[in-house]
A and B are shown apart, each in its own frame.
Chain A
Amino acid sequence: MCGHDILRESAAIRSVVALSGQGAGIYDDLTVSENVVFAMRMSGLAVDPAQLRSVIDEVGLGAERDERARHLSAGMRRRIVLAQIRLRPLRLLLLDEPYTSFDDEGVAYVNGVIRSMRERGGSAVIVTHDADRVREVADRTLRLDSGLIDGAEPPGTDALPGRPPHLRLTSHA
Chain B
Amino acid sequence: MTDATQQRTAPATEVIPPRRTVLGWAAFAFLAVSQLIAVRLSPPDRDMGHLQKIMYVHVPAAWSSLIAVVVVAATSSVLYLWKREEKYDLLAASAAEVGVVLMSLTIILGSIWGRPTWGTWWAWDARLTSMAVLLLIFIGYLALRAATDDEDRRARWSAAVAILGAINAYVVYMSVRWWRTLHQIQSSPATVDPAYVIGLRLNAIAFLLLMIYFVSERYRTARLERATERALEDQALSRRGGGEGGGGGK
A contacts B directly (C-beta below 8 A):
yes
* Partner-contacting stretch, out of B46-54, B104-112, B239-247: B239-247
B48 → chain A, closest Cβ, in Å?
A: 60
Inter-chain CA distance A1–B6, complex, in Å, is 14
For residue A164, CB closer than 8 A to chain B, the reply is yes
For residue B189, CB closer than 8 A to chain A, the reply is no
Task: Knowing A6-B6, A147-B241, A164-B241 are in contact, say whether A11-B1 is a contact too (CB < 8 A).
Answer: yes
Q: In the complex, what residue of chain B is closest to A166 when comparing beta carbons? A: B248
Number of interface residues of B (CB under 8 A): 14
Q: Which of B1, B7, B245, B249 contacts A166 (CB 8 A)?
A: B249
Report A-chain residues with C-beta under 8 Å of the C-beta of B247.
164-165
Interface of B is mostly: loop
A163 → chain B, closest Cβ, in Å?
A: 8
Inter-chain CA distance A54–B241, complex, in Å, is 50
Contact present for A167 and B250 (CB under 8 Å): yes
Contact present for A169 and B250 (CB under 8 Å): yes
For residue A157, CB closer than 8 A to chain B, the reply is no
Task: Knowing A166-B249, A169-B250 are in contact, say whether A10-B3 is a contact too (CB < 8 A).
Answer: yes
B210 → chain A, closest Cβ, in Å?
A: 41
Contact present for A7 and B248 (CB under 8 Å): no
For residue B184, CB closer than 8 A to chain A, the reply is no
Inter-chain CA distance A166–B243, complex, in Å, is 14
Report A-chain residues with C-beta under 8 Å of the C-beta of B1.
11
The interface of chain A, by Cβ under 8 A from chain B, is 1, 6-8, 10-11, 147, 163-169
